Amino acid sequence: MTNEIKKAEDFDSSNLVIFLYRWRKPLFIVLLVALVGSWFFSSPWFITPKYKSTVIMFPAGSSSISKSLLNEQSVKGQDITAFGEDGQAEQLLQILNSNKIRDRIMRKFNLMQHYEIDSTSNSKYSFLFKEYDNNITFRRTEFMAVEISVYDKDPQFAADIANTIASLLDSVKNDMMRQRSVKGYEVVAAEYNSMKSEKDQIVDSLIKLGSLGVNDVEYQSQVLNQQNAIAIMNGNRTAQAALQKKLDILGKYGGIYMALKNALEFKTEQLILLETKYKQAKVDAEENLPQKFVVSDAFKAERKSYPIRWLIISVSMVSALFMSIIIIMIIEKISAYNSHKKFQLGQ
């Protein structure tokens, strides 16, 4: 009895090697059962294997097309070939996680049926969104790129979804940007057309004044006064009357002509500046640019990525061994305690 207690105390002194040797057969059986069980339950009969496809891309700079291509002054960050920074990467992640992308992917690939979700269930969309989040993920890499990862039991299906998400990113972001650019274009176009109409009215008024003989008030007034003076000196009353009639017309419409001429010069200058903004706004509203630089397209995976069977088997065997050791230790402790108690009662 004393020897049994002594053995228990020896084990308590961390004599693990002896302990494992003494229990080698039960532990071996436990490891063998864990090996066979984890291999069997991680097989395709219980866990559907999934294949992973990824797209890696860098965000493009968030400059408008007009500023990038039509602006004569070179400004940092407005080059269409420039890569985006942290802010642009975060914007891409937010767009990728939006329902605008998710809903289009669900409809295009009929994920409700593909994930075998009961379409009559009251919680069908909750199950669908959960499957979507479990199989499709987005993250920013350590190199500031954005990675799209898709897991699916069909490797080609996974690659198609990943590439489609990448292509949808352009249309979704461009649609969001176009909502503002179209409004801006409408404002500029209305102002441009209004100013152009005002300029045309001024030109029409000057044409009418020109038909009355008012073309250049300052020069005409100088010439007519000289001719009128000569007519007076020569006593030519007929020429004097004709010249005086023209001078009266200049006096009546000369001020209007000068005001219209100055207004035309001002409107022309303003219209030139506004026309530049009009063309830029029109380009931004009608044209699109890619919003990312794709580094790696998704392709059909040849080997499954889930489950990782060797990891499952290893963890299962280690866990089984660890739990077995703890249970045996508890059993030995209880046995030693009972033996010691019986020994004391026997005395």
Which pLDDT value is given to residue 195?
86
Please tell me whether residues 72 and 155 are part of one structural domain.
yes
Q: What is the pLDDT of residues 35-76, one digit of tens each?
A: 888 777 766 666 778 889 999 998 886 655 555 555 555 444
Which pLDDT value is given to residue 205?
81
Which pLDDT value is given to residue 206?
74
Token pair 């303003």 in the structure block, residue: 270
Tell me the C-alpha distance between 37 and 296, whole Å: 39
Which pLDDT value is given to residue 157?
93
Instruction: List alpha helices for 212-303, DSSP H.
Output: 217-234, 237-286
Task: For residue 77, give the DSSP letter.
Answer: T
In order, the DSSP letters of 12-50 are HTT-HHHHHHHTHHHHHHHHHHHHHHHHHHTSTTTS--B
Q: How many residues does the chain have?
A: 347
Cα–chain center distance at 284:
18
Q: Would you state the structure tokens that stand for residue 81, as one six-digit string?
A: 């070939």
Please tell me whether residues 133 and 164 are part of one structural domain.
yes
Q: Residue 302 domain-assigned?
A: no
Q: Specify the number of domains making up the chain.
A: 3
Which pLDDT value is given to residue 46?
67
- Tell if the pTM clears 0.95, that is, is over it: no
Domain that holds residue 329: 2-45+307-346
Please tell me whether residues 174 and 200 are part of one structural domain.
no
Residues of the chain scoring pLDDT < 70: 1-14, 16, 42-46, 61-84, 210-214, 216-232, 234-254, 287-289, 305-307, 340, 342-347
Please tell me whether residues 99 and 140 are part of one structural domain.
yes
What values do phi and psi take at 331, rounded to 5? Answer: -60, -45
Q: In b/e form, how buried is each residue of 175-188, taking b as 16+ CB within 10 angstroms?
A: eebbeebeebbeeb
Tell me if 224 sits within 8 A of 166, measured CB to CB.
Answer: no
Please tell me whether residues 174 and 211 are part of one structural domain.
no
| Domain final residue pick, 257, 274, 296 | 296
Please tell me whether residues 202 and 119 are part of one structural domain.
no
What values do phi and psi take at 122, rounded to 5? Answer: -70, -20
Please tell me whether residues 175 and 89 are part of one structural domain.
yes
Which pLDDT value is given to residue 2?
46
Q: Residue 22 domain-assigned?
A: yes
Please tell me whether residues 41 and 57 are part of one structural domain.
no
Tell me if 202 sits within 8 A of 302, measured CB to CB.
Answer: no
Q: How far apart are the first and last CA of the chain?
A: 12
Please tell me whether residues 161 and 292 are part of one structural domain.
yes
